[in-house]
Structure 1
Amino acid sequence: MPPVLLSTRPLARAARCHPHYPVLDFLAPRTIPHALHQKSRIHSTPPLDALANAANPGTKPPLTPSQRDFLDSALRVNQAGELAAVLIYSAQTPPLVRSHPHLRPLMQHMYDQEAGHFRIFNSLLAKHRVRPTLMYPVWHAAATALGWGTAVMGREAAMACTEAVETEIGGHYNEQVRVLLEWADKLDGRGELGDELRALIGELRRIRDEELEHLDHAVMNDSKDARPYELLTNVIRGGCRTAIWISEKV
């Protein structure tokens, strides 16, 4: 019986399997408040500029138009990606668990984490008045079909799907963290680093690490034994990159 991993150990295996995006800061403190998990009200919350609120409230908000555009597209893409992840696991679980009952705890564990990520980005989009992607119906159908199709192909194909998706998503979150850390360093030097930007960086780190944990689970549960592995993972990764690019724009 293949191993089913439910620990939150350091992600050494994921880093070894995918050295092209090193996990440089996953040991950083987690700073996100639990309040971000609660539903926000659009009319009572500030726009994106609050993410980098100056220490002196009377000063000009430090976010430039290009920075606001980056955050707008990042939050929109992240929400769409987490929607897709929830749908993939929802579609994979019934056929996969029927054939491999021992995978039920693992599938539930990964689904629960993705559902939590989705709630967080729903809250952030509402709080910061960011428009969701217009591609929602397309991504909904595509993610459901991908999840069901790979599960029907077998356990290894379903795990290869997780490996491919989380490789792209982990790298995407890592790039967002890198950019925001650069901003935070400059803002901190001017005494303008706000708590919300600091919290967002901490949240993205935590979510990224959980996504890479899913990648680790997939590899440990024989994702690389899928046939045809290279074709399957390359197609899925290409689809993820395309979906990310489109969601950033639309």
Structure 2
Amino acid sequence: MKDPRAIDTDRMIRVDQAGEYGATRIYAGQLAVMGDRGPHSAEITAMAREEARHREMFDALMARRGVRPTMLQPFWSTAGYALGAATALIGPEAAMACTAAVETEIDRHYSNQLDQLEAEGCDPELAGMIEEFRADEREHRDMALASGAEKAPAYLLLSGVIRAGCRVAIKLAERI
């Protein structure tokens, strides 16, 4: 039987894969509305490519380790796409506000995971992936802020709602 105090790396991998999958769906929704020539489309396309690479790496890790995906994957597909499309419909700054909010929460989430892994001195492969991906997520957040995220209508409210939604999604994906 597993030590209940031990770090559950399967749970970490499951939630991280779900988050990367959700990010690809957010960007797909934004690009569907904005097109490939809209404001910030080039930035969104580049970020989407990185998120797809992250997801592929987590998919491979899950397969190697026999980690089950979250049962909420179909929901994340729809919810992510809808969030991306809705923020793009508000405007390019709102699309960037979405990215800034999501990446702020993912940075916090990945940092917490790294702290746990480092404290226990376990799973250097997973820690390395998280550290690399966290750096990418921070770049995405910074790019979104530089692209006018804070100029979005009702930025603080929009950002707060998206960040709260991310925190709920993380908790659900860890367990379900």
Q: One fold, TM greater than 0.5? A: yes
Task: State the identity as a percent.
Answer: 41
1:29-40 equivalences in 2 (<5 Å):
none
Q: TM-score, normalised by structure 2?
A: 0.93
User: Which position in structure 2 is the counterpart of 1:67?
Assistant: 6
1:142 counterpart = 2:79? yes
In structure 1, the residue matched to 2:59 is: 122
The CA deviation at 1:95 is 2.4
Counterpart residue number, 1:239: 165
2:107 corresponds in structure 1 to 170
Structure 1 residues without counterparts, runs of 5 or longer: 1-62, 188-196
Preserved contact between residue 36 and residue 42 of structure 2 (Cα < 8 Å): no
SS of 2:6 mapped into structure 1: helix
Partner residue, 1:193 = none
| Per-residue CA distance 1:67-114 (angstroms, 9 max, x = gap) | 35x21111110011001000011110132246735x332122101100
The one-letter code matched in structure 2 to 1:149 is A
Aligned to 2:25: 87
Structure 1 residues 94 and 140: alpha-carbon distance in aligned structure 2, compared to 1, 3 A threshold: closer
For residues 175 and 244 of structure 1, the distance between their equivalents in structure 2, rounded to whole angstroms, comes to: 12
Two-structure CA RMSD over aligned residues (Å): 1.6
Tell whether 2:4 aligns with 1:78. no
Q: How many residues align?
A: 175
Secondary structure (helix, strand or coil) at the match of 1:67 reads coil
Alignment of 1:164-243 (within 5 A): 164-184=101-121, 197-243=123-169
State the alpha-carbon separation in 2 of the partners of residues 86 and 245 from structure 1.
19
1:90 partner letter: A
Paired with 1:155 and 1:218, the residues of 2 have a C-alpha distance of 10
Q: Once the 2 structures are TM-superposed, how far is the Cα of residue 236 of structure 1 from its aligned partner? A: 0.5
TM-score by length of 1: 0.66
Counterpart amino acid of 1:136?
Q
The equivalent of 1:96 in structure 2 is 34
* 1:232–1:245 CA distance, 2 compared to 1 (3 A): same
Tell me, in whole angstroms, the C-alpha distance in 1 between the residues paired with 2:151 and 2:28. Answer: 23
Q: In the alignment, residue 164 of structure 2 is paired with which amino acid?
A: G
Residues 166-207 of structure 1, C-alpha deviations (whole Å, 9 max, x = no match): 0101100011011111111xx7xxxxxxxxx22321211000
Which structure 2 residue ranges, 5 or more long, are not aligned? none
* Matches of 1:227 and 1:104, distance apart in 2: 19
Pick the structure with more helix per residue.
2
